[in-house]
A and B are shown apart, each in its own frame.
Chain A
Amino acid sequence: MTSPVKKRLIKFLLSLIVLAISILIIVYNLRDNIVYFYSPSELQDLNTSDVRILRLGGLVSNGSIQSEPNGIHRFKINDGNEEISVKFEGILPNLFAEDKGVVVEGKYIKDELFVALKVLAKHDENYMPPEVIDSLKQTGNWQGE
């Protein structure tokens, strides 16, 4: 085997190994950090032993917001069919209100309680997260255009 060919072969194999390892690491990390989105109906059907972080989106149920003085808030999120109770400790966003769309991120414990670590909100009164629109459309409770 001539030396330049050998050199090239070594280079090629080396880059192949590096490539394979890095892609493996990347994909593995990606799989671990994916946050799935669920509507209340979908969450009901979910295996409750799943302890991953996930997102839940829908409408804040009318009259469901209860704020305790220690900064703990309880409210319910519905999609017209199902309702999930949510507990959140922290500051609710400015545009958080009853009958408005909301997306929360956190863990679904059991007995229909969702412990939210984050409440996501956009800076527009009429904004509705697209996922929420989709799930409302699926349950036939969408009233927009």
Chain B
Amino acid sequence: MNNIISLSGNLLLIICLATSILQSLNLFTTNSYTNNNVKLFSTIQFTCIALAFLILIFLFTQSNFGFELVTFHSHSEKPFLYKISGAWGNHEGSLLLWILILTLFNFLYSLSAERDKLYKNKVTAIQSILIIGFVLFSIALSNPFALNESPQSEGLGLNPILQDPLLAIHPPILYFGYVGFSLVFSLAVAGLLTSNINNVWAETVKSWTFLAWTFLTAGIALGSYWAYYELGWGGYWFWDPVENASLMPWLAATALIHCVVVLQKKNTMQSWTVLLAIITFSLSLMGTFLVRSGVLNSVHTFASDPGRGLYILSFLFLVLITSFTIYALKSDGIDKENSYSLVSRDAGIMVNNWVLITILFIVFLGTIYPLFTDLVLNTSLTVGPSYYVMTITPVIIILLLFMIISPLVNWTAGKLSNVIVKMRYVLISSLTLVLILSLYFYLFSLTELAIIFLCIILILTSVSSGIIYSRNNIIITPSLGRTLSHSGFGLLLLAIVSNAVYSEEKIFDAKVGDTLKLSDNTFKFEKINQFEKQNYNSIQAIFYLMDNNKQVEKFSPEIRFYNDPPTITSETSIVHRLFEDIYIVMNVTQATNSISVRIHVKPFMTFLWIGVILIILGGVLSVFIKNKKINA
């Protein structure tokens, strides 16, 4: 029976491969009428992979230990949800998910209305070449349907810290973003090949780009929130290489969405936009390579399983070399020479493109440098988080400055004096606000004050340009997407800075009945509970936040002892209040009669997440809002 399942799984992959090869041949047709199979082929590709993926999920839910993948990554006593998510919580399964989304985007695109049939053929052909690359990889080097040589009676389990509802949906959403840029990449390369890059092209590309960007943003945010409550270190971003791997395509993509809008409105920046599309997808590929090849843990683990790593690396280089060659050959002369004044919206957007690329470079260097020294110089080192903070902070100030000014300037040519006139109320009110804040807290450094000041202006100007109050009517302008995202970004940064300045933490050695004090807060250690769950045992401590002898909030941090594989985890207990999060985590200690407790007071965390949600909402709106073209 298992043989048949394994065979049919592989067969589905092979059918998809064959169809993709057929579809990729469209790259060489010049006649736009011959091929109407685009829709059929894309449907077959998608159906095959979807079925294969369902089979894999089925195997995991059945805990079928005849299969290698299920044995290594599941356990019969796992809760049902995590049996399902176990299907993509590993290398082979996540690769199949990657392919599923590749074919899904190809399928969705094949359904879309596109007047230029020749162009559509090329796009789906390029997308199919990407599919071929990954399906081959899956069949030959990371087969999810590989059988165990001898059937096992029990699985090795799934890492307990990955047993979390957020982390179950985090990879699919992140991959939706990563892989969404594959279609943007295909659209860009096909556009180069057919010399088709113009404002009409940008119109099609815009929705796909915003779609992928929105998912990528949401994916990163989910990962960050997971790290915040699950890892128990009180932070939400650690400049860990795994996080950086997803931040890099996001930075390129953020530059890209702005360029696509400029291209659509003004028909300029053609070659730069295409270049960004190629870079964004390449970074998505690189992110997958970094995370999935094991190279981040150590270049030596990478060397111990060279097949997989080398395959993705060669594929990455192949994609890079081919697309850059096409770019070099075809991009010459696609730019419409449009003289624009130095004070114009596109100039401002261009400056911020540079800024985003600079941040990208900073993150890239910090992520790659340790790998380089390990591989070439054989020295182990890590790059501390302060590197990122110190280098990115000054750049962020420039970014904020141009985020504020650019939307207030005309597309073609504007005057700076007009901007200042437009901003006069906002300037005065934010300056007053910042002065009051700094006098009240008397803590900020000049950099922090500058960022906070600019964030407040950004939020105010964004809101006032998106929602106009006139003649007793509230008018919502088409730039509402930008309003939400930009004010969300301002809020996010405001929260990050204030959080960094005002966070407090303290470690206590506590016994039941103790009273713990951290700044203005008093906590009471009430009792300890012990209980058994399906796959772990737990010690739970109960704390109350006290206010004049009344119990205001309840906390219940836990330590869990998992059976398979034997692992100990600390579960945090967080109370979200409007202006601060209170965060309690405990650890086992050598001492028998007391426990170690760490309490964090983290201000403005709620605003941080609201900021992120606003950014995402802005992205969602921008997928649907159609912009008007502006004649230059």
Contacts and interface: CB of A to CB of B under 8 A. Distances in A.
Contacts of B297: 130
Given A35-B382, A35-B384, A123-B160, A25 B391 contact: yes
Nearest to B300: A130
Given A26-B361, A30-B369, A37-B380, A123 B387 contact: no
A37 B381 contact: yes
B568 A92 contact: no
Contact of B507 (A67, A71, A125): A71
Nearest to B387: A33
A36 B390 contact: no
B590 interface: yes
B366 A30 contact: yes
Interface stretch (B107-115, B118-126, B274-282, B559-567): B559-567
A22 B390 CA distance: 12
Nearest to B386: A33
Given A26-B365, A124-B567, A35 B383 contact: yes
Interface residues of B, number: 41
B385 to A, nearest CB: 8
Interface in A51-97: 53, 55, 65, 67, 69-71, 73, 90-95
Dominant secondary structure at the B interface? mixed
A71 B596 contact: yes
Contacts of A95: 567-568
A94 B596 contact: no
Contacts, number: 96
Contact of A53 (B301, B384, B394, B598): B384
Contact of B391 (A29, A37, A134): A29
A32 interface: yes
A100 to B, nearest CB: 12
Contacts of A34: 381-384, 387
A131 B298 contact: yes
Contact of A37 (B369, B382, B587, B590): B382
Contacts of B159: 123-124
Give the 7 A-B CB pairs with smallest separation, nearest first. Answer: A130-B298, A33-B387, A37-B380, A94-B568, A33-B384, A91-B596, A67-B590
Interface of B: 159-161, 297-298, 300-301, 358, 361-362, 365-366, 369, 379-384, 386-387, 390-391, 394-395, 507, 509, 559, 565-570, 587-591, 596, 598
14 contacts: A26-B391, A33-B383, A34-B387, A35-B381, A37-B379, A65-B590, A70-B509, A71-B596, A91-B507, A91-B587, A95-B568, A123-B160, A123-B568, A130-B298
